[in-house]
């Protein structure tokens, strides 16, 4: 396997120093007081409108193709430090030849700081966006991205999912990417704050919140782009035994969580929620346990629904090594050899030509 052209190995990716990590560890996962009585019910599917300050780490992400066209995809993301946010790797442009090298600041639009991200977006008509400003939210922030990093295993998994590569019997699930911001955020601003990551040595909770900026109805019902953040409670994570019986052609269950609910339960993810969060409150702090990745029968209230989330703790060492966000302690790894032998990654920041990693 070869890394070619301008795609790098992650050595230039911004890593928090220990004092920055200490500050992050003190500030992360704290949302501002919200009025819980104010609720409008819609779909995420069939979740609640988020309130100002309730999910200050939630981001709306647009990705445009490198070639001049109006084609774009929508995703969600979560701010995890002053300089980084995390999303699903399938939100990147991955072609038959592999990961496409681009200039991220030209092709990614990131909005946050409010549950209503209604704003002018390049190449999209305002009439194609759902206007949520009537709910009196604050104006959105525009965050400029500098580069992103993705494990090679995430590129391979998504190439297999797109049938660019054959699917082996015991393939590894992986669907995670981390973006670096052009400028560090001031953690004194309460409207936009990072969420904490969990310590992988601690037990996982039972009650979660799923959040994202995805569609609230199928495209056939309303083709406009949803700009409003929604969320719902989730307590249906499959046990490890049940997960191993889940019909998902990957090896083991360490890298992901699965939720499943019966016919009639209207809550679900929808298109555009990819990269959104599965979070829980532990010791009074919000922590990101999962990243929305894969769904079966999403946005459909007539059928059984399943959703797959990236297990953030499974990626602890990758995140710690490349970003300095280390929930077990600064530079403390699950695998003590990871810092000596880090896994292959691609870091994309400055494109001179279209190249790929396979």
Does 261 have pLDDT greater than 80?
no
299-311 per-position pLDDT tens digit? 666 666 778 999 9
Q: Which domains does the chain have, with CATH numbers?
A: 18-348 (2.40.10.10)
Q: Mean pLDDT across the chain, nearest whole number?
A: 85
Q: Kindly report which listed range (10-19, 256-265, 349-358) carries the lowest average pLDDT score.
A: 349-358
pLDDT computed for residue 322 by the predictor: 97
8 Å CB contact between 102 and 177: no
Q: For residues 71-80, give the mean pLDDT.
A: 92
Indicate the pTM of the whole model. Answer: 0.90
Closest by Cα among 193, 176, 196 to 318: 176
Q: Are 332 and 21 in contact, with CB atoms under 8 Å apart?
A: no
DSSP code string of 293-322: EEEESTT-TTS-EEEEEEEGGGGHHHHHHH
User: Under a CB-based contact definition with an 8 Å cutoff, are residues 63 and 76 in contact?
Assistant: no
Lowest mean pLDDT among 49-63, 94-108, 136-150: 94-108
Residue bearing the bigger pLDDT, 179 or 119: 179
Give the neighbor-by-neighbor strand order of the sheet with 141-143.
141-143, 108-112, 58-64, 72-79, 84-87, 177-181, 145-151, 345-348
Reported as a pLDDT band with limits 50, 70 and 90, residue 48 is confident
239 DSSP 8-state letter: P
Burial of 300 (0-12, 13-18, 19+ CB in 10 A): middle
Residues 76 and 273: beta-carbon distance below 8 Å: yes
Q: What is the mean pLDDT of residues 226-242?
A: 88
CA atoms in the 13 A half-sphere facing the CB of 231: 19
Could you write out the DSSP letters of every residue in 185-203? PPTT-TTS-PPBPPPTTSP
Instruction: List, for residues 326-340, the tens digit of each pLDDT value.
Output: 999 999 999 999 999
pLDDT over 70 (residue 152): yes
Q: What is the tens place of the pLDDT at every residue in 1-44?
A: 333 334 666 778 999 999 999 999 999 999 875 544 444 433 35
The pLDDT score that the predictor gives to residue 41 is 39
């Amino acid at each position: 396997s070869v890394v070619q052209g301008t795609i790098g190995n992650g050595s230039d990716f911004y890593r928090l120093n220990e004092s920055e990590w200490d500050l992050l560890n003190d500030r992360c996962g704290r949302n501002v007081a919200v009025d819980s009585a104010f609720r409008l019910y819609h779909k995420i599917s069939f979740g609640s409108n988020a309130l100002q300050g309730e999910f200050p780490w939630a981001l709306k992400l647009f990705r445009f193709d490198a070639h001049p066209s109006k084609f774009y995809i929508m995703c969600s993301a979560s701010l995890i430090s002053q300089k980084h946010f995390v999303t699903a790797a399938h939100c990147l442009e991955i072609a038959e030849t592999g990961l496409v090298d681009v200039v991220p600041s030209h092709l990614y639009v990131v909005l946050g700081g409010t549950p209503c991200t209604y704003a002018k977006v390049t190449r999209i008509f305002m009439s194609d966006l759902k206007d949520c400003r009537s709910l009196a939210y604050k104006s959105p922030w525009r965050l400029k991205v500098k580069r992103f990093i993705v494990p090679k295993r995430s590129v391979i998994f998504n190439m297999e999912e797109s049938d660019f590569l054959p699917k082996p019997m015991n393939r590894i699930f992986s669907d995670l990417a981390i973006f670096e911001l052009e400028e560090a955020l001031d953690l004194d601003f309460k409207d936009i704050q990072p969420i904490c990551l969990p310590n992988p040595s601690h037990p996982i909770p039972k009650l979660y919140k799923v959040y994202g900026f995805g569609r609230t109805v199928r495209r056939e019902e309303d083709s406009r782009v949803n700009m409003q953040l929604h969320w719902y409670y989730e307590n249906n994570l499959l046990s490890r035994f049940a997960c191993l019986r889940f019909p998902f052609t990957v090896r083991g269950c360490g890298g992901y969580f699965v939720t499943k609910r019966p016919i009639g339960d209207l809550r679900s993810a929808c298109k555009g929620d990819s990269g959104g969060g599965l979070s829980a409150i532990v010791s009074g702090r919000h922590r990101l346990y999962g990243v929305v990745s894969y769904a079966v029968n999403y946005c459909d209230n007539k059928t059984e629904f399943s959703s797959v989330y990236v297990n953030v703790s499974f990626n602890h060492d990758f995140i710690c090594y490349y970003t300095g966000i280390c929930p077990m302690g600064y530079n403390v790894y699950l695998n003590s050899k990871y810092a000596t032998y880090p896994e292959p990654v691609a870091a994309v920041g400055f494109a001179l030509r279209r190249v790929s990693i396979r």
